[in-house]
A and B are shown apart, each in its own frame.
Chain A
Amino acid sequence: MSKDPFKTRLEIAKKKVSKRNLENKKHNPSSIGTAFKLSTELVSAVAVGTIIGFILDKTFGTKPWLILIFFFVGVIAGITNVIKSAKNMQK
């Protein structure tokens, strides 16, 4: 095979690929990834907050109070997490 037909074929193929890439950009898999991210973000922050409260309660001996406070702080942290990643998604 001579070289020139191959080169022209390569050019055509490259154009096709770049065109397809442009079309695919609208729904790339990373949006599904960020959607998966949201679901666990909320729960894990609550869990971490509760664990921190539990540990602090054990060390200071203030049995029910710190776990209660840190539970709600964890809820707030989870909600801010979700809002942050939703904002990142829209960028």
Chain B
Amino acid sequence: MSERVPSDELARRVREGNLRAAARLITRVEAGEDECRPALAELYRHTGHAHVVGITGVPGCGKSTLVSQLARTLRADGRRVGIVAIDPSSPFSGGAILGDRIRMSDLVEDPGVFIRSMATRGALGGLAKASLDAVDILDAAGFDTILIETVGVGQDEVDIVQAAQSTVVVSAPGLGDDIQAIKAGVLEIADIHVVSKADRADANRTVMELKTMLTMSMPSGPDQWYTPVVATSSEKCTGFDELRDAIDRHRAHLIDSGELENKRSEIAANRMLKIAEGIVREDFRREREADLADVLGRVSRRETDPHAGAVELLAVVNSRIRHESTADPVQ
């Protein structure tokens, strides 16, 4: 591919399962190239086949290693696995070191596995802006299961639940007591809990704490989903068949209960709103620059308070954007 191939041609190749084309299209969408948007729109119509599984948890809990082992387990069943692995960008330079692949090295040469690393580039919430576009591209390329590995999250980066059909929350043993487990946030979003590093002596305690937490919010009724707790050890290669089965059971539950369709439309709605917010934020960022100094000066001299300053700034920026879009609709 030495000459530039148009994105609609790349999209056509993606649908034939060409992974080189998929890789290039992901690059273009990640770079925010306008030219690829119609191609993405076309591909979007051919998505919905893959099961999208989110893997999240605190930094160092073993997400990448788990993703690698889970992918191998799924491959043993002949399923094709796409992986989107997200790492944080530096808030200072905008650059990133993407190290998730290090733990996935033995999957690299398997043509049934595609791994793509992405940097957050300022996006909060644990995902990158183009993550779901990348998922669409892999879905359209025919992957059966797509694993999204979020950045190492803190306690409330829960965007993954608005992006994946099944959410797996990974906890490592020894990272806090049972009060941590009943706090709000990441632990609440799990469809499946995994306790990683189960070869460690204190893993059982973490399993028990999570199970105890779950009994406090036990669903009632035969059609409800009971969140399982699966213990895995990448070192001893145990627990991954159970994890695969739990994911399959959750998917079956989504389909049987009719929840899958709800979940799909929720994911689509959240995604659209997020893009709209992004456009507004970007407009605001660009438009405010000239006005910032004046308002900022008054706020820092305590002539105006931060809230009033923010409202004033918004009013100025909004009127300018509105003026621009009526005065100069085509640029």
Q: Do A and B come from one complex?
A: no
Residues on A facing B (Cβ under 8 Å) = none
